[in-house]
Structure formats: C-alpha cells, structure tokens
Chains A and B, each alone.
Chain A
Amino acid sequence: DIQMTQSPSTLSASVGDRVTITCRASQSIGSWLAWYQQKPGKAPKFLIHKASILETGVPSRFSGSGSGTEFTLTISSLQPDDFATYYCQQYNTWTFGQGTKVEIK
C-alpha cells in the first residue's frame, strides 16, 4: 500500500504569512495527488488535483507543486478563512495523508 506522510502535523501561523505543507509518498505516484481543506464539522473541500491544478473557485493564493514522491501545498498569504486542516490524497489507491492543522499563532 502507498503511504502518505504529511509534515508538519500542526502549523502555527499569522494572517499574511506564507505557509507550506509537505506531503511525501512511500513510492512514486507521478502527479496523481490532490489536496483538500477541511473545517471542523464540515466535509472536505477539493482544492487542487494533479498536484498543481487549482479547482474552479479556489483562490489563487493556494498553489501546489511536486511530482514523484514529494509534494507541497503553499498558501502565499494566509487569510482568516484558511485556518483549517489540510489533507493530501494520492490518486492511485486513494489513501490520504494524516492531515496538517493550520492554527492561529
């Protein structure tokens, strides 16, 4: 099974900060990676697919990069609405990373 490992598990940041979350796959997955945002009590929201393609309506401050085994999600200037938990997902066998909680510093 392909394992997905995110780091850090928790990230403390302030509004306006540039934030980067890393996701590593236990074997190469090409660009078959998606990112989601989840807020407490809500279903996940689809942000990015194929590692770097933003879903329609997702603000341009979000970006994704990487291929093979290492991927990043970057928020260029953190906004109040961005405090949430973020998950990566590999699209070969659909497993998720364990999540990264972005909290207010």
Chain B
Amino acid sequence: QVQLVQSGAEVKKPGASVRVSCKASGYTFTGYYIHWVRQAPGQGLEWMGWISPNTGGTNYAQKFQGRVTMTSDMSISTAYMELSRLRSDDTAVYYCARDPSDTGVYGFDYWGQGTLVTVSS
C-alpha cells in the first residue's frame, strides 16, 4: 500500500534551517511528483512547491522563493524539504503529498502524516 512517512517533530530557533524528510513506499517513487503543503496552527492549507523525483525539477510558490529547497534521493525513495531563515510564523505542520496527475487524476491522493516544526527562541 502507498505510504508517505515523514520525519519527526523539530524545534528550531529563529534564523535557523530545518529539513523535513518524506519516505515513500508502495509505489514507483519516480513516477509521481511530490508536493509540500504547510498548515499553521488553526489555519488553512498553504501550498509550498513540488519536486519531480524523476528529473529533480522543482517549482516553488513565490512566497517561499529563496528560502525553500526541495530535493529527492531516488536510491531511498525519499523527498526532502529544507526551509531556511526560519521565523516564528513558519511554525506549522508540514505535509508531503503525492501527485498522480500523470495518471489523469488531478489532486493530491496520498499524504504524509505531517511534521510539526516549531520556531521559537
């Protein structure tokens, strides 16, 4: 069965960086884009960007350009999202999600369990 398993919660100081991992199983990792979405406490969903594990190509939301880097490692079927120069308003749950659009399904069909990143001095 398809699973996306994310790394554990992180606590970071303002100005630091955080890297969240998303390990995929149960499907061909290179066949589907991975998106990253975050959700601040009590707030809605915010799309951050995507990576193609097949090509390494990325597309970031303008809001995060220059601060986010998405990478992947095909050998271990894992995608990563690194966010730098953290601020208190980056405190959120970060999700990875699979995009099956190459199959004709347009949306995010499987999600990781979420990783809470807390930014606090």
Contacts and interface: CB of A to CB of B under 8 A. Distances in A.
A45 B110 CA distance: 8
Contacts of B95: 43-44
A95 B46 CA distance: 7
Nearest to A1: B62
B44 A99 contact: yes
Which range holds the interface residue count of chain A?
A: 20 to 34
Interface residues of B, number: 21
Given A1-B62, A43-B95, A43-B114, A96 B108 contact: no
B105 interface: yes
Given A1-B62, A43-B95, A43-B114, A55 B109 contact: yes
B44 A98 contact: yes
A62 interface: no
Contacts of A50: 106
B104 to A, nearest CB: 9
6 contacts: A43-B111, A43-B114, A48-B107, A55-B109, A91-B107, A99-B44
Interface of A: 1, 32, 34, 36, 38, 43-46, 48-50, 55, 87, 89, 91, 93-99
